[in-house]
Amino acid sequence: MNYKDYIIEVPDFPVEGVSFKDISPLLATPTVFRETIYKMGKLVGIKRTQPPYVTQYPDYWIAVDARGFIFASALSYEFGGGIVMCRKKGKLPPPVTSYGYKTEYSQDTLEIKEGSGTAIVVDDVLATGGTLQVVNDIAELAGYKVLNNLVLIDLKYVPRVDWFKLNIESLIEYE
């Protein structure tokens, strides 16, 4: 299946020079979305002996605000494991672990609930890698052992931040 057939490129959105990848058609097509989740699970080594039995899965799927919530929830439902949300400052009730960082344009803070166990970090798109790297760092600080990182789309043509050092699994790549 060519998943790119279900992604619309929107030029100059949200700002001029950016080619936004609209995944709405993929999400709106049940058979494609279902296969997407199954294939994403396989990318990180999740195995099913027969539906709905799963032979291995992480304790948690760490969902990156906001579209990562969609994929982490579906992966949790399909394969097991809980969901831990990683959100922008002030969106989770205390107590939380906070982590401030600088982007190319601003300064942001992410927060996550403390816990323990294995986890896979899930987001929709990887561009510069800054957010995903920070999510990994804050997850480790909060007590989770990150096993892998999983994204729907990897924008390989976007330069990564200098401090990006992660292994990434992606279903769709744009060179």
Q: What element of type H or E holds 140?
A: helix 130-141
pLDDT of res. 61: 98
> What is the number of structural domains in the chain?
1
pLDDT tens per residue across span 71-82: 999 999 999 999
pLDDT of res. 13: 93
Quote the mean pLDDT of the chain.
93
Is 21:9 a contact under the CB 8 Å cutoff?
yes
Q: Please tell me the distance from the alpha carbon of residue 112 to that of residue 118, in angstroms, as a whole number.
A: 15
CATH number for the domain that contains residue 117: 3.40.50.2020
**Dihedral in degrees, nearest 10, Cα atoms 121, 37, 26, 61:** -20
The total of other beta-carbon atoms located within 10 Å of residue 19's CB is: 12
Find the domain containing 53 and state its range. Answer: 3-174
Comparing CA positions, the residue from 163, 166, 153, 150 lying closest to residue 43 is: 150
Q: What's the token pair of residue 38?
A: 């199954």
pLDDT tens per residue across span 78-122: 999 999 999 999 999 999 999 998 866 678 999 999 999 999 999
pLDDT of res. 45: 87
Q: What's the token pair of residue 137?
A: 């760092």
Q: Comparing 5-19, 61-75, 95-109, 139-153, which segment has the lowest mean pLDDT? A: 95-109
pLDDT of res. 102: 81
